[in-house]
Copies of this chain bind each other. A is one copy, B any other.
Amino acid sequence: MTDPTPTDAVADEPKLTKKQRAILEAALDVFSERGFARTATSEIARRASVAEGTIFRTWRTKKDLLIALVTPVILKLVVPYFIKEVQGVAEDADADLPTFVRSLYRNRVEHVVKRHPRAVRILVQEIAFHPEIQELLRDQAMDQLVPHLLDAIGRYQAAGVIAEMPREAALRLLVVNFAGMLVSGYFAPPDKDVDQEVELDRTVDFVVKGLSA
């Protein structure tokens, strides 16, 4: 909405020179295309039209560059839009499950995945190999987002809308189907929004029915 060109928000970062921004932008491209380990810093420099040494003035190692790309996405994945949703549900006891799930999914998709598709891809690919990133995600996402979602699930179970099962199990199903929606986006060519809208509806419908008591 604010940003009409859905792009990885390299532009967000403050106090970066043009060249530094170009480096981030290039790294985003190459890391997501070829993977972190397969990418040479010389390639990044080439694409950013920058001397190779320039990269290392700002980021001391190649890995620092990776983390600089991935950290803002992790933060955005969780923090800003989240509060409203769950609080909305918390305050409005009537908010029904489909609305909750749809707004949860849609916000993540619109604010994170559509804007930072390359960074999300890098995150998914590299998280298995970088303890620092795992930690970051755990600290940020797990300790912030997860408790709130578990609470919400608990409330829906109390209201008889979600079937009896460990709340963690329900959360897993919720998350997996969200991830599946995204991943299918990677495989399918990035065509019309219509499709994605329909896909969103269908997935929400599926999840709500699947969880129902």
Q: Which residues from chain B contact A35 at a C-beta distance below 8 Å? A: 37, 128-129
Output the residue of A180, A181, A203, A212 with the most chain B CB within 10 A: A180
B202 and A206 contact, CB distance less than 8 A: no
Q: Which residues from chain B contact A209 at a C-beta distance below 8 Å? A: 209-212
A169 within 8 A of B: yes
A196 within 8 A of B: no
Closest to A186 in B: B128
B202 and A169 contact, CB distance less than 8 A: yes
A202 to B211 CA separation, bound complex (whole angstroms): 10
A132 to B169 CA separation, bound complex (whole angstroms): 36
A180 and B176 contact, CB distance less than 8 A: yes
Contact of A202 among B38, B165, B180, B212 (CB under 8 A): B165
A151 within 8 A of B: no
Q: Restricting to A196-213, which residues have a CB under 8 Å from any CB of B? A: 199, 202-203, 206-207, 209-212
Q: What's the number of copies of this chain in the assembled complex? A: 4
Closest to A207 in B: B210
Output the residue of A125, A169, A176 with the most chain B CB within 10 A: A176
A177 to B175 CA separation, bound complex (whole angstroms): 10
B206 and A173 contact, CB distance less than 8 A: yes
A190 to B127 CA separation, bound complex (whole angstroms): 19
A193 to B180 CA separation, bound complex (whole angstroms): 25
A90 within 8 A of B: no
Contact of A169 among B38, B169, B199 (CB under 8 A): B199
Closest to A209 in B: B210
Q: Which 5 A-B pairs have the closest CB atoms?
A: A176-B180, A210-B210, A37-B37, A206-B210, A209-B210
